[in-house]
Amino acid sequence: MIAAEAGVDAQTPRRTMTSTDQDLRLRLAHEADIEPLRDLMNAAIGRLQTRYLSPQAVAASYSVMGLDSQLIADRCYFVVEAGERIAGCGGWSRRATLFGGDHSANRDAALLDPARDPARVRAMYTHPDFTRRGVGRMVLDACEAAAAAEGFTACELAATLAGEPLYRACGYREIERFTAPTAGGVDVPLIRMGKALTRRDAS
């Protein structure tokens, strides 16, 4: 546990942030970031999934993905800055919702029990201009550290097909494949993945 520095408050445990870009800086997200974050997410959804999904499924993805502002209110959401730009974002949650934005149906704000429930990793996005620069790993490290510091022993997430390679490389394993239905009738494929946390993750 550390004092506030670089925009991360004392409730965020110290981590060694590794990145191929030394100009990246991690901090907690604030309400003022909401509109820039939504723009970043829209760019990521629209441009980074085209190798994995049909145009119809990419368009449908906007209805099941996006920003859950509860994560910002809970001080569990991070942004990565590169100079004056937001390069990526993502967070973790002690609440039951696995995926989805403010507009998504079936969200569940119930608090999880660290003794038996896995924490959630939520809303991980990298701007298309900053892929393959360590942004996702930086955010994921911070999420796992914060969850472990609150007593969680595992994390779960809903991965897109585009995000699956990163999560596998970071130690996540597939639990199940499923689809998220949308009002337009196009199902969006997702993968529930999980990872056990260690004491080292909390350091």
Whether residue 19 lies inside any domain: the answer is: no
Whether residue 51 lies inside any domain: the answer is: yes
- Residue 54: domain span: 24-99+111-202
Whether residue 132 lies inside any domain: the answer is: yes
Whether residue 14 lies inside any domain: the answer is: no
Whether residue 6 lies inside any domain: the answer is: no
Q: Please list, in sequence order, all residues whose beta carbon lies within 8 angstroms of the beta carbon of residue 161, skipping any fewer than 6 positions away.
A: 49, 52, 53, 189, 191
Residue 189 maps to which CATH number? 3.40.630.30
pLDDT band, residue 203 (cuts 50/70/90):
low
Q: Are 119 and 147 in contact (CB under 8 A)?
A: yes
pTM comes to 0.86
Q: Are 135 and 88 in contact (CB under 8 A)?
A: yes
Whether residue 9 lies inside any domain: the answer is: no
Question: pLDDT tens digits for 101-132?
Answer: 999 877 889 999 999 999 999 999 999 999 99
Mean pLDDT value of segment 54-76 = 97
Q: Would you call 37 helix, strand, or coil by DSSP?
A: helix
Question: pLDDT tens digits for 134-188?
Answer: 999 999 999 999 999 999 999 999 999 999 999 999 999 999 999 999 999 999 9
Whether residue 29 lies inside any domain: the answer is: yes
Domains: count for the chain: 1
| Other beta carbons less than 10 A from residue 164's beta carbon | 17
Q: Are 124 and 76 in contact (CB under 8 A)?
A: no
Question: pLDDT tens digits for 3-50?
Answer: 222 233 333 333 334 444 559 999 999 999 999 999 999 999 999 999
Strands 85-93 and 119-126: antiparallel
If one compares 152 and 200, the residue with the highest pLDDT of the two is: 152
Whether residue 1 lies inside any domain: the answer is: no
Q: Are 148 and 135 in contact (CB under 8 A)?
A: no
Residue 64 Ramachandran class (φ > 0 left, ψ -120 to 50 alpha, else beta): alpha
| Residue 107: predicted pLDDT | 83
| Residue 22: predicted pLDDT | 59
